[in-house]
Structure 1
Amino acid sequence: MEEANRKRITAKSWLTRATNKLRQLLDSGEFTQISLVAQIEEFEKRLERVQPSGQVSRLPKLELPKFSGEYTEWQTFWDKFRAIIDSNNSIPTVNKFTYLQSLLQGEAAATISGLSLTETNYSTAQTLLQTRFGRPERIIFSHIQRLLQTNLFLTSKESSLPAHLWRLHDEITTQVRSLENLGVGGESYGVILTPLILHQLPNNIRLEWARVGEGKEGDLGFLLKFLHEEIQRRERSQTFGVTAGAVGPTTTSPSEARSGSLGGQRSRPRQNMRKGQGSAIALLSGSGSKRTPLCVFCHGGHFSDQCQELNGLDLEARKNKIRKLGLCFVCLGNHLAKDCTRAG
Structure 2
Amino acid sequence: MWFKHLHLYRLHGAPELDSSALASALDTHAAKPLGNADARRLGWTAPAGRLGSGQLLHEIQGHRLISALRQERLLPASVVKEEVDEKVADIEASEGRKVSRKEKTALKEQVTEALLPRAFVRSQKIDLWWDTRRHLIGVNASSRTRAEDILDLLRETLGSLKATPISSQMLPIRAMTTWLGDPASRPSDLQLGDQVELKAKGDDGVLKARQVDLDSDEIQQLLESGRQASKLAISLEGRLSFVLHDDLALKSLRFGDALIEEADHADDGDDALARLETDFILMAQALSDDVTRLLEWLGGEAQREPAAQQEA
Asked whether the two chains share a fold, i.e. TM above 0.5, the reply is no
* RCO comparison, higher one (Cα < 8 Å, 6+): 2
Higher share in helix: 1
TM-score (normalizing by structure 2): 0.24
Higher share in strand: 2
TM-score (normalizing by structure 1): 0.22
